[in-house]
Amino acid sequence: MKRRVSMMVGLSLALAAAATVGGAGAMTATAAPAFTGASDAVVTTMVHDLGLTKAQAQQRLEQQATATALEPAAQKAAGSSYGGSWFDPAEGKLVVAVTDARAAKTVARTGAASVVVARTAAQLNSAKTAIDNLARKQKAPAGVSSWGVDLQSNKVVIDVRADAAGDPAVRAFVAGAERGDTAEAVTVKTTAAARPTTLSAGTVGGDPYTSHGIRCSIGFSVHGGFVSAGHCAQGGAAVYGWDGSYVGNFQGGTFPGNDYSWVNVGSGWWTVNVVLGWGTVSDVLVHGSAVAPVGSSICRSGSTSHWHCGTVLGMNETVNYSQGSVYGLTETNVCAEPGDSGGSFISGDQAQGVTSGGYGNCTSGGETWFQPVNPILSAYGLTLQTS
């Protein structure tokens, strides 16, 4: 079955919601292509959700594309003193953290700004991995929401619900995380937010699909199918499109630990490099999967709450869902709601990932984490649809 969307006629479920995977014909993108202009969909939503003018939104996207392309060279220039990098929207530049002031001069020659910090990115990641290992040995209590590297503070931040901060199990987990050589790298932040949850729903989901009694959203088209969230999957289960017709079957899926899956497409359905704009904005074409730095603006398409934009807050974070911990997620302040699971996260025309879970909603606001797309492509040997 086919349906009409604003950019082309007869888009299938898999193509219509092909919103979030990335890998411009390859498993991993190494640099962003030259910026050729943003679609009206991305600019319009950034104006609405980020409070920017149209000119400011277009300028930010140009600056982000430059920062994304610059990041590999700037990281190489920082060498062993590399402490991470992020996009600074106020300055419109890539910022690189270094532990050696001499490396800052080398980084400056690439065109990036720099800041001197106490710990390298490798040290921060090591501290974060130690907490992951602790959680594998003793399941993190429900009062611990998530943990991950905060590059700008040069710390590993553990998010603890304010109403559970005094819980003995929470205090014991935090004490274990603050033990050892990396103790000074760890800090605790309390939050009033509820525990993050996955965003699938029982007949809920860019475009929706249903399978084994739940509804989720398509992430991105790949050659031969589409990718989505792992918590939406059931091995071999049949998948049905927005119109109820048979699309294909789950070919793989993993959750918790990771949160990704993929579905093969057949029976008259086909794939294109499109993220659905839901009629309120033009559909967006996906042209690659270069990773946008922390601080970049990012947009999400899902079948429940449709289009929303925000900012990348952190990468390589661990989220403690009730079903178990999921590692390597990216944190954003983009809202989402049940049924948006698996849907697309995109920055400019570059696929970023598929919606995993979060807290809040699109009325009061909230935060959402996504599973980066390039690891999904690599895990299953898939190629992102980019034309």
- Annotated catalytic residues are 231, 259, 341
Assign 136 to helix, strand or coil. Answer: helix
How far are the Cα atoms of 218, 281, 297, 302, 333 from residue 242, in angstroms, in the given order? 10, 19, 29, 13, 28
Q: Give me the residues paired with residue 150 across strands.
A: 155
Q: Which of 58, 20, 9, 27 is nearest to 275 (CA)?
A: 20
Tell me if 21 sits within 8 A of 347, measured CB to CB: no
Report yes or no: 221 and 215 within 8 Å, Cβ to Cβ. Answer: no
Beta bridge partners of 115: 97
DSSP designation for 230: G
Strand-pairing partners, residue 306, are 302
Question: 104: which DSSP letter?
Answer: H
Residues 153 and 99: their CA atoms lie apart, in Å, by 13
Residues 6+ apart with CB under 8 A from 220: 18, 19, 20, 21, 22, 226, 227, 275, 286, 344, 351, 354, 373, 384, 385
> Is the backbone of residue 247 left (phi > 0), alpha (psi -120 to 50) or beta?
alpha
> Do 92 and 59 form a contact (C-beta atoms < 8 A)?
yes
Query: Amino acid letter at 212?
Result: H
Which residues are 73's β-sheet partners?
A: none
* Cα separations in angstroms, 357 against 230, 232, 265, 354: 11, 11, 25, 10
Q: What are phi and psi of 67, to 5 degrees?
A: -65, -40
> What token pair was written down for 153?
């503070």
**H/E element holding 133?**
helix 121-137
